[in-house]
Copies of this chain bind each other. A is one copy, B any other.
């Protein structure tokens, strides 16, 4: 998705969906043409699927066909001749939610997306967390739920029943034989889901102590789930640490707004 606009906090002026084809160069040509048609732009922000290499400004070892080691930042800089901010989609979303979304004003925030995969981005001291790599929160170890159906081993090809292997949309579908959206709110599926997500929120809280955790993504569209996670997190914590606020995203497209924030930061 690409967009042009004035400020990260405002509605974008033009938004366009461009499919991420397996021909990375062609996709980027389409992106560049969009910015030329609707520009000139003074800066570009990229909030991309990962993993990324921040030093090089590249997608790194993605299994996504055609994109491994693609020098996205360098290509955009060269073709558009403007500064390019570059981060992961979830770090961008976390930045956007902290500046303009449901965590407005928070200096520390985690954004988690629960959908076909699980990803997380984090803001500490008002900046996205970069270390050796970037957060890869989908692969948090979680404790097996006591009512986990016998024989369910999780769907993560690396770790089996890590967070993503236990609580992503595909994990729910593999466990119950139907997609999450077809499971009624009183189904056991949801207390198991709430437990895994609450464990993840507790791990994030004891490691980072964020002021807020924003939970987005398709699985979180089930309106009862956020309250289940909140309740279970309080049970698991047992009053030990002050807990972050849990909330739904405040922005329609947190990643897109994140890209605008990343662009703005380049102009400071």
B-contacting residues of A (Cβ < 8 Å)?
A: 51, 107-108, 120, 122, 124-125, 127, 129-144, 158-159, 199, 202-211, 236, 238-244
Contact = CB atoms under 8 A, between A and B. Distances in A.
Most buried by B among A120, A140, A208, A236: A208
Given A137-B206, A158-B240, 13 more contacts: A122-B207, A124-B131, A125-B125, A133-B209, A133-B241, A135-B209, A139-B206, A140-B206, A141-B199, A142-B143, A143-B143, A143-B144, A159-B238
24 contacts: A108-B130, A124-B124, A124-B125, A129-B208, A131-B209, A131-B210, A132-B209, A132-B210, A133-B209, A133-B241, A133-B242, A135-B206, A136-B205, A136-B206, A136-B240, A137-B206, A139-B240, A141-B142, A141-B199, A141-B203, A142-B143, A158-B239, A159-B238, A203-B207
Contacts of A107: 131
Contacts of A129: 124-125, 208-209
Contacts of A208: 122, 129, 131, 135, 207-208
Nearest to A238: B158
